[in-house]
Amino acid sequence: MRDDLDSVPPAIPLLVIEVLGKSNSPKDAYDRLKNLWPEIQSQSRFHMENFSLAAPKNRRPDELNIYLDGGLNLFDARVGCADIDCRLEAARHLARSLALVGDTLWITDYLTEQFLEHGKVADEKLYRILTDTLVLSELFPLIAAGIIKFRSPWRSVCESCNNAFDTQVEEMVEDSLKEYSSEFDIEKMCGGGYALHTGGTYHPSMVLRVYPTKWLGAQRTPTAEEAKRNVARTAIRSALWTCDEASKGNGVLFSNSAIGMAAFVKREQKLEGRSSLRAFDERRSVQIPWVTELNASQIVELRSEASKALPALRELLARHLTVAKTEDKNPGALIDELRWQAVETRNELENVQGHAGRYWKAAYATVGLSISAYGLGTDGVIPSLGGLLPILHLLIEHKGGSKKEVDRLQRRPGYVLVKAQDILKHAHS
């Protein structure tokens, strides 16, 4: 675990370590959260006042900083499935995909603000936070390793700039609904509410449940058009906001929101000299063999063991992710290529290591004979030494050559799969 957990919002380690980690049952976790609430609240307020609006640090140009948006932004309650099984699976998918290839993953900190309210805490809120804690625990090895980091949802913006931004968003909402309105589907529910299926606006599609709410003292259910507009507004606002932060942080945007990504692309096409920010649609994601069976702790281990190969794997995936839709490139071809590389890389590694072992065994026998000659008499020391030096030189050269060959193989994308196999084999042994 890193020593800089101080940079993590304090609510996160407290929830994972002190609440969930020391609880024996859901009831125990509930009681611990309730008892620790004043302490978590105090630390969260201090963090909010002193760190949340800090200016972003300058990052290296060669770093891959991934900014997550839409349903990939796992703690945004406005999007994504609320079911805990779905959320845990989304967290595992994130760990096995983007957390492997990215230097840093940036998730919005929607947790700290939940501890800022005064007054009595409702049970509903406590259970919601406990659900968030289960998701956090799935990702905590990556958080502790400094791979997943949290960015503040708050920004200091003047009123005129904020009004201009809202106007831009509303214009984009109108344009987007013309294109995406037919993607939505309505399913009536009991009690006057309905389920809004988002269709192709998100991948995978979400189901948002709309219930009657109080409006001017009366119960009112938002119309389907109002619900659609709210989905579009949320997606576009979030995508543009995240794009801006990713651009400032020399980052890459990943999102599962088609409607948000479309708005971003349209805005970029209108700008002169637009930034080099790259944005990827989650629908182009790839399931890497064997990696999909690893947990977050094993992903941290894999990143360390196969660190030399990650840049090459990253570029290979980037070419796949950015391929034009008109090319209709088959994702299976990329998987087949990675599988073949894994087999080829393992075979070559075993061949190099086996050959090096046989060479050293024979070479050491020769050295042993030469050194033994020293004991035959002082007259033979100089001639023997003269014959020994070329052999030692040859040994050093061969060792360097073997290291270079192994280093070359360890930089191939397929080496990531080789190490993933090794980690799984070790875990199951």
For 217-260, write each residue's pLDDT tens digit: 677 888 999 999 999 999 999 988 888 888 887 788 888 888 98
Of the residues 86, 118, 151, the one at which a domain ends:
151
User: Among 109, 133, 151, where does a domain finish?
Assistant: 151
Q: Are residues 351 and 271 in the same domain?
A: no
Alpha-carbon gap, residue 140 to 303, rounded angstroms: 15
Task: Say whether both 356 and 422 belong to one domain.
Answer: yes
Is-contact 177 232, C-beta < 8 A?
A: yes
Indicate if 130 and 187 belong to the same structural domain: no
Would you say residue 392 lies in a domain? Answer: yes
Q: Is residue 205 part of a domain?
A: yes
138 and 77 assigned to the same domain: yes
Residue 183 located in a structural domain:
yes
pLDDT tens-digit readout, 44-75:
999 988 876 555 565 666 678 889 998 899 99
| Domain encompassing residue 389 | 331-428
List all residues 6 or more positions away from 259 whose beta carbon is below 8 Å from its beta carbon.
176, 180, 201, 202, 231, 232, 235, 236
User: In this structure, what token pair is assigned to residue 242?
Assistant: 């995240």
What does the pLDDT profile of the chain (429 residues) look like in tens digits? Answer: 444 566 799 999 999 999 999 999 999 999 999 999 999 999 999 998 887 655 556 566 667 888 999 889 999 988 877 789 989 999 999 999 889 888 999 999 999 999 988 888 999 999 999 999 999 999 999 999 999 999 988 877 888 988 888 998 999 999 999 989 999 999 998 878 899 999 988 888 888 888 887 766 677 888 999 999 999 999 999 988 888 888 887 788 888 888 988 888 877 776 544 444 555 665 556 677 788 889 999 999 999 999 998 888 888 877 766 554 445 556 567 677 777 777 777 777 777 665 555 544 444 444 444 444 444 444 444 444 445 555 555 555 545 556 777 778 888 888 888 888 899 988 887
Residues ≥6 apart with Cβ < 8 Å to 243: 253, 264, 277, 279
Last residue of a domain, one of 129, 151, 173: 151
8 A C-beta contact, residue 186 and residue 195: yes
Residues 348 and 404 occupy one common structural domain: yes
* Same domain assignment for residues 9 and 143: yes
Same domain assignment for residues 163 and 275? yes
Do residue 60 and residue 165 come from a single domain? Answer: no
Tally of domains within the chain:
3
Look at residue 360 and tell me if it is in a domain: yes
The structure tokens 């609320």 sit at 82
Same-domain check for residues 177 and 280? yes
Q: What is the dihedral of CA 214, 162, 152, 263, to 10 degrees?
A: 90
Q: What is the pTM of this model?
A: 0.78
**319 falls within a domain:** no
